[in-house]
Structure 1
Amino acid sequence: MKNIRHLIFLKDVLVLSFTSFGGPQAHLAIFFKILVQKRAYVTEAELMELYSFCQILPGPASTQTITAVGFKIGGPRLAFLTVLVWLLPAAMVMTAAAILVSYFQAQNLNLGIVKYLEPIAIGFVFYAVVKTISIIQKTKTAIIILILTASICFYISLYDKASPWMFPIILLISGFLTSFRFGKHEKEEKTPFNIRWANLILLGGIFLGAAVIGTITQALPIRLFENFFRNGSLIFGGGQALIGYFYTEFVEFKNYLTHSEFLLGYAFLQSLPGPVFTFASYIGALSMREYGIWGEIAGGFIGSFGVFLPGTILIFFIAPIWKNIKQYRIVKASFEGINAGNAGIIISTALMLALPMQKGEWHSIALNDGIAFGTMCILLFTRIPHPFLIIAGLLAGWVL
């Protein structure tokens, strides 16, 4: 009976991977409908606690939430299978999209059909800005941190070649600044820890091992794996924050992708269900295009495997001790700053992505800005699904 229940759970995860649009917040509503109301794998309170727990971990929040549900009902083995079933459909599509973009460019074929997807993608990013700001704490400290992080990141990206290490350092400082406000949180009774160090040692070992081997060999696949694994280990705030990290690392710092290729992939991503972190498959595939189609397929695999692995290992390590960790008020307090810092990073990224649209003739600039603003407003004030906007952009590019 247990094995049959696990198979049914994996089937439900596969259904969710094809129907969950809109990022972590929208995913939660769909998880509630299937995992709580329909199947009763967990209670509403258990799902909300797992979701809150994953929101303050680095890595993909939706993926970690559904992995934690799998861990709760079937242990590590079911949790691992849950990750694979959840991410594979979107990862395969994003890899295929990268291969298609690479082919069109290699053949010097006209990509005019996708010219309106860039401003639409900018609209998606600014929508993420508004949604992220709406959910952070509106304390004076949080607002100051948001403004400072946005200004610093934008200035560094604009006038200097930004380092991919900039974001985690800024987040650590942001969390440190609000950790002193722990007094506003109620004390909780402490219970002893029962820590299983193996998973944390594995996480640190892979982190350091990939960095050392990549530096020594200079092999692009290993360096790519290290890049994605590091990002998956350090990204707080889910898919919205991911965009800033990836743009800085792979477009500005390493030039593996062009600005247009990045935005095109992000637009494709918004039309797909499943985890936002599968954007790594698209970036990985294009980063490996010099090795041909098999290199692109390998790059797609490396991207998703690298970015999802640390979050999965963290679930295995932290899930058993989560109740112990959240007892400490200083931990709770630090996330006020981390969330505000994330919002600032997303604002900076949105501005950097929008800057290239401000070049050219005035009517072209006005059109692109109008499309971006209109996309943001449609997402904020209507329930039109993301894929319809992408289809409309493709049709406009084809007709015009």
Structure 2
Amino acid sequence: MSTRRFAPTLGQIFSHFLWLGFTAFGGPIAHLAYFRASFVAQRRWLSDAQLTELIALCQFLPGPTSSQVGFAVGYHLGGWRGAALAWLGFTLPAALLMTLAALGIMAIDGFAPSLLTGLLAVTVAVVAQAIWAMAKQHCTSTGRLILMLVVAAACCVLSSAPATVTILVIAGVIGSLSFHTQAHSASTAMLRAPSHGVGLALLCVAVALLFSLPLLSALSPWWALSDSVYRAGALVFGGGHVVLPLLQAELVDPGWLSLEHFYAGYGLAQAVPGPLFSLAAFIGASVPALNAPLLGAALLLVMVFLPGLLLVMGLLPFWRHWQRQPRARAAVIGLNAAVVGLLAATWLVSIVPYALVDWRSAALSLAAGLLLLWAKWPIGRVVLLTTSVGVLSSHATIAFLQQLSA
């Protein structure tokens, strides 16, 4: 079989990533499977070794793994324009759906609480499923399991954003000291990368934004929310689900957004294709302080992705050297175990008590979990079912039907 590689045009890069943005359901791991089937097996735009190398780099970094891989693939195929078009195509469908959903929820005040009940039920089930899957992947030794449990206990007691950052840093240090014998170097493949100077400049921009945005946050809600969302995007290790507790600490606890709407957006993000970070578009369109839904959605969407994209392109020129450092790889092992504990603490402390308020919400959550785990229903179908049941059983619907029959 021929191993010839085909160089796509910029239009082909955008159109194919746009198609994946409409069809790639199932979360980051499923997205990577879509990428492999599309770019390696079908179109032969790059080799399996090249894609594997990009996946290894992006799993090594904070940020949305599948979007980072897509951005790096776009750069490899078409330079900076290819990278931008790849990200835009893959993100646009979910971002538009989430923005429209936020506007729709605000427009149906009478039925919104019942709709949110169904979405919260899915959130309980989906986060529980994510915790289980991540624990099986990242807590495979006794040491990692203990670290996960300690972090979970600490995060149950200390829930502020600074405390979360401190806990993750300590977990990384513990990992670098304890798990270096479990860290293995990977082989390398030839990849298109920026120059070392450009890479260093991108890393400087990423760090400068992390420290300068807090200084600007007092100027307006736009700067404050940009700071919060950028910081959350910069700390997401272990998959898109980890953005949930980070964004909650940055946005819900200070009062920018109600917990009800936040979890509704998270539940909806499970049902749409594309990256889970599209939740930022829902938040930007829902925050009352911005009073500009479309502009708010666009701003927060860019800010939540920006640190991860800057990091992957900034570190790509240095990747061959970095991946040979066992201590660095071991630190990521510790961080991955820690984020499982962080997500478990959020599920226990924030999601379950808020979502399971009566027998109906508990039954919906149980049904959603059974359909996802045992019946293997796609998340979109589960969301449709639980939200429909929530609305049909609501007091608003019952009152509406009584009025019609009167």
Q: TM-score, normalised by structure 2?
A: 0.87
1:209 corresponding residue in structure 2: 212
SS at match of 2:108: helix
> Any runs of at least 4 consecutive aligned residues in structure 1 with deviations exceeding 3 A, and if so which?
108-111, 183-189, 193-196
Question: In the TM superposition, what is the alpha-carbon distance from 1:342 to its structure 2 partner?
Answer: 0.6
Q: Pick from 160, 163, 175: which aligns with 1:163? A: 160
List aligned pairs for 1:244-259, cutoff 5 A.
244-251=245-252, 253-259=253-259
List aligned pairs for 1:33-52, cutoff 5 A.
33-52=37-56
List aligned pairs for 1:135-284, cutoff 5 A.
135-156=137-158, 162-180=159-177, 181-185=179-183, 194=196, 196-215=199-218, 217=219, 219-251=220-252, 253-284=253-284
Contact 2:57/2:312 (8 A) holds in 1: no
Q: Answer yes or no: is 1:128 the counterpart of 2:130.
A: yes
Contact 1:256/1:286 (8 A) holds in 2: no
1:314 and 1:389 map into 2 onto residues whose CA distance is: 35
Residue 54 to residue 257, structure 1, CA distance change in 2 (3 Å): same
Residue 393 to residue 47, structure 1, CA distance change in 2 (3 Å): same
1:329 and 1:368 map into 2 onto residues whose CA distance is: 46
Contact 2:94/2:274 (8 A) holds in 1: yes
Question: In the TM superposition, what is the alpha-carbon distance from 1:140 to its structure 2 partner?
Answer: 1.6
Which letter maps to 1:54?
A: C
Which letter maps to 1:142?
A: R
2:404 corresponding residue in structure 1: none
List aligned pairs for 1:1-400, cutoff 5 A.
5-105=9-109, 111-156=113-158, 162-180=159-177, 181-185=179-183, 194=196, 196-215=199-218, 217=219, 219-251=220-252, 253-287=253-287, 289-292=288-291, 295-351=292-348, 352-359=350-357, 364-365=358-359, 367-400=360-393
Q: How many residues align?
A: 379
Contact 2:233/2:305 (8 A) holds in 1: yes
Residue 208 to residue 383, structure 1, CA distance change in 2 (3 Å): same
Question: In the TM superposition, what is the alpha-carbon distance from 1:112 to its structure 2 partner?
Answer: 2.5
Question: In the TM superposition, what is the alpha-carbon distance from 1:168 to its structure 2 partner?
Answer: 2.4
Which letter maps to 1:20?
A: A
Contact 2:371/2:382 (8 A) holds in 1: no
Between stretches 44-53 and 15-24, larger displacement belongs to 44-53
* 1:40-68 deviations in Å (ceiling 9; x for gaps): 11222221221121112111111001111
2:214 and 2:112 map into 1 onto residues whose CA distance is: 39
1:188 and 1:69 map into 2 onto residues whose CA distance is: 19
Residue 182 to residue 111, structure 1, CA distance change in 2 (3 Å): closer
Contact 1:76/1:316 (8 A) holds in 2: no
Residue 328 to residue 358, structure 1, CA distance change in 2 (3 Å): same
Which letter maps to 2:381?
A: F
Contact 1:128/1:240 (8 A) holds in 2: yes
Contact 2:245/2:343 (8 A) holds in 1: yes
* 1:7-28 deviations in Å (ceiling 9; x for gaps): 2122110110001111111111
Residue 172 to residue 114, structure 1, CA distance change in 2 (3 Å): closer
Question: In the TM superposition, what is the alpha-carbon distance from 1:386 to its structure 2 partner?
Answer: 1.0
* 1:353-386 deviations in Å (ceiling 9; x for gaps): 1012454xxxx33x42332233223222333211
Contact 2:13/2:82 (8 A) holds in 1: no
* 1:71-101 deviations in Å (ceiling 9; x for gaps): 1222222112211222122112212211222
Which letter maps to 1:333?
A: A
2:400 corresponding residue in structure 1: none
2:53 and 2:69 map into 1 onto residues whose CA distance is: 9
Q: Which runs of 5+ in 2 are unaligned?
A: 1-5, 188-194, 394-406
* 1:143-164 deviations in Å (ceiling 9; x for gaps): 11100111111122xxxxx322
* Percent pairwise identity: 27
1:110 and 1:49 map into 2 onto residues whose CA distance is: 45
SS at match of 1:177: helix
SS at match of 2:104: helix
Which letter maps to 2:216?
A: I
SS at match of 1:116: helix
The RMSD of aligned alpha carbons is 2.3
Between stretches 378-387 and 342-351, larger displacement belongs to 378-387
1:159 corresponding residue in structure 2: none
Residue 73 to residue 188, structure 1, CA distance change in 2 (3 Å): closer
1:188 and 1:73 map into 2 onto residues whose CA distance is: 23
Residue 48 to residue 380, structure 1, CA distance change in 2 (3 Å): farther
Between stretches 330-339 and 368-377, larger displacement belongs to 368-377
Residue 330 to residue 275, structure 1, CA distance change in 2 (3 Å): same
2:64 and 2:307 map into 1 onto residues whose CA distance is: 10
Contact 1:104/1:111 (8 A) holds in 2: no
Which letter maps to 2:369?
A: M
Between stretches 272-281 and 307-316, larger displacement belongs to 307-316
Between stretches 42-51 and 225-234, larger displacement belongs to 42-51
2:248 and 2:318 map into 1 onto residues whose CA distance is: 34
SS at match of 2:217: helix
